[in-house]
A and B are shown apart, each in its own frame.
Chain A
């Protein structure tokens, strides 16, 4: 594979030419925030949180392939403000009540909100009227918390067919949904996998919650951009 030169935050890297900016950043332990991105699955660039300044333009790092002499800036005041707005808009658009959510401490959206110091509302919150689908024996879909990142749908589509999850409805009524027949044989392990693909608390396992004590949860002591050795492993 040809090696090309790109510059990230002022430092040059010789990288393989078939990578995306995000992949190169990850390989070199450079933090770029993500939400809809799931490693190993084709990126879709829908959440825009990974937006970086690439050759002078704002572009999503997850979908932009590297090119020779590319200059990438991952962090500026303007980018942080953009990302902070994206995160808060997601909060404003759903019903995210962290205090009682069992993903609290393990939630990527919450971790990003802490990272960008979202303390007081900047936007009007919609408080949409959404339901909780608890009809499945192993998992619950809490549409209040769904950010429509499509990770649950894309993951299964790519790994093996048919999919467990699909979108239903259109526009602002769109929701994730599961196929009851195809997920009828879900065991605990599959339910856990489904839950793990979700960056928030929209897909949760039944009758299992809060069993990881505070202090031991993923982001309790290490922020999402933590650069300690353990987090970078």
Chain B
């Protein structure tokens, strides 16, 4: 019991020791959290992205939304609070000027995606071509990625599903989001369902392409005309860019 007779000394020693240990335990993992910017993107390869010109995006038009959900078998189950939405039209009103516009928002396929950072099982991942996906076999349905996503891009499957498309597997209890029509990209279609629909309707507000190819239309327009990223302050370098906001 001798240790119990000198509480003051041991307490002081303890506090300084504890502080050092806590500090090193807390900081040490952080050292490995840092990685060189751009490490996630495949500099030699492609990085798929979208450019959305909001000035051409018609208010009330939801062609991109309908096409996406049809392509990927995302149906409403009549419960709007829990229904999945891979892409939605957002209506904006400038509080200062009253200026209004509308634009589609989906997974922004960040270079540094917070969903991938927080996923405990690596189910959320970035492909070398920049597409952010969820591995449906390792997603445990913890929804931490939904807490972390700044774009509210993800949906949790709240009930059993039927009529799934073979190229877009979905499952109750897992999280999902826009795949940038990865099946079409891998097939070599060179476009996505939302872009196709927007073009078909004649709006041509959306452009799909390789951000890393300086000769691609999307890369040229981004370079010449400039663009905005949603929540650019977070420096996630999303592959979905906007013009006109």
State whether these chains interact: no
Residues of A bordering B, CB below 8 Å: none
